[in-house]
Homo-oligomer: A and B are copies of this chain.
Amino acid sequence: MKARITITLKPGVLDPQGKAIEGALHALGFGGVDDVRQGKYIEVEIGESDPDRAKAEVERMCEELLANTVIENYSYELEAA
């Protein structure tokens, strides 16, 4: 199966990268930009065909490595590869 994982900073956590992008967009003339938040997008091919087992594996990957769950949230979509 293929997992599409999105990892974002929790609301309230300072996002210096987002601020830097926001400043650059304003400098390029995108005056209407109010807020920018940057996160990670990770695609993982898993050699597991059972959706429930694949789901459990993705969540364990996020909890153990991919996301810092103190300051980050994660969400994911699973699809047949």
A33 and B21 form a contact (CB under 8 A) = no
Instruction: Looking at the assembled complex, report how far the CB atom of A17 sits from the nearest CB atom of chain B, in whole angstroms.
Output: 9
Interface readout for A43-71 with B: 1 if CB under 8 Å, 0 if not? 11111100000000100110011100000
6 residue pairs A–B, Cβ–Cβ below 8 Å: A7-B41, A30-B61, A32-B47, A33-B45, A35-B44, A39-B40
Within 8 A of B (CB), among A18-41: 18, 21, 24-25, 28, 30, 32-41
The contact of A21 among B32, B42, B57, by CB within 8 Å, is: B42
Residues on the B chain within 8 Å of A66, using CB: 21
Contact assessment for A43 and B37 in the assembled complex, using a CB-CB cutoff below 8 Å: yes
